[in-house]
Structure 1
Amino acid sequence: MRTLRLLGRDMENGILRRCVLFILPLLFAVSQTRELHAYLIELADGNILLTNGTFADYLLFAMKGMEVYYFDPRSVFYIPIYWFAFQIGLAY
């Protein structure tokens, strides 16, 4: 019984009072999901992809990093901000 009271107190003080902090990782996950969904629709329209994406496809797309960057003064380096946000959100 004491364990359940402690668990309830932890839930109330930790998750319920600070639920606003969970919005940022959720927003990044939603944006990544929309981006992958648009990409899958584009592939399906071009008859390249025959099936819809699965949950694992969405998860791997959200957790992907970036391609190997080879320095070239003419190319632009893009920081994988979605990957950083997802990893920081998981660690937080």
Structure 2
Amino acid sequence: MAFAPMPLPFPKDSLAPAMGAQTLEYHHDKHYAAYTRRLNELIAGTAHEHAELTAIVRATAGASGQEAKIFNNAAQTWNHEFFWQSLAP
């Protein structure tokens, strides 16, 4: 399963002044997108390639080596998606 950054559930300027549009855009479009892109690169050709995000996080928690890299990117992707859904204008 290829992962794509989820769209924000609100306009980028709707959290101001707590979080400005520029900050939110950078965090969503660059930082979070990088975790998602790297996760796709790391899981390509592995047993995780078609798994759901939470299954990947659970399967790789506490792992080492390449699996730890997969865990980090999967967990950061999940964390960001939870964060976006927890915010409200």
Q: What's the TM-score bracket when you normalise by the shorter of the two chains?
A: 0.3 to 0.5
Which has more helix, going by share of residues? Answer: 1
TM-score under structure 1 normalisation?
A: 0.34
Point out the structure with max Rg over C-alpha.
1
TM-score under structure 2 normalisation?
A: 0.35
